[in-house]
Structure 1
């Protein structure tokens, strides 16, 4: 999925939800994705710089 599509998908889900549990789940999914991306970026930097 293209990043813009992913952003749009999550934005629509958030905007359409009145369910606190669903919003919590979305927030946790986004947190996990963010932290995984940070870890992947750090790994690439370590590999690039031979650390």
Structure 2
């Protein structure tokens, strides 16, 4: 019997990760592609953090 795969997305962790990327590459432009409802991870949560 198989169990469904579940991924929990933390907006705070995603925000932190984006800040770390910006610290390491301050002049780089970041473009995030959020497709298909963020592949089930809730586009309403992910998109504002990545904008």
Is the pair's TM-score, using the shorter chain for normalization, greater than 0.5?
Answer: no
Pick 1 or 2: higher relative contact order, CA cutoff 8 A, min separation 6.
Answer: 2
Q: Give the structure with the higher percent helix.
A: 1
Short-chain TM bin: 0.3 to 0.5
TM-score (norm 1): 0.40
TM-score (norm 2): 0.40
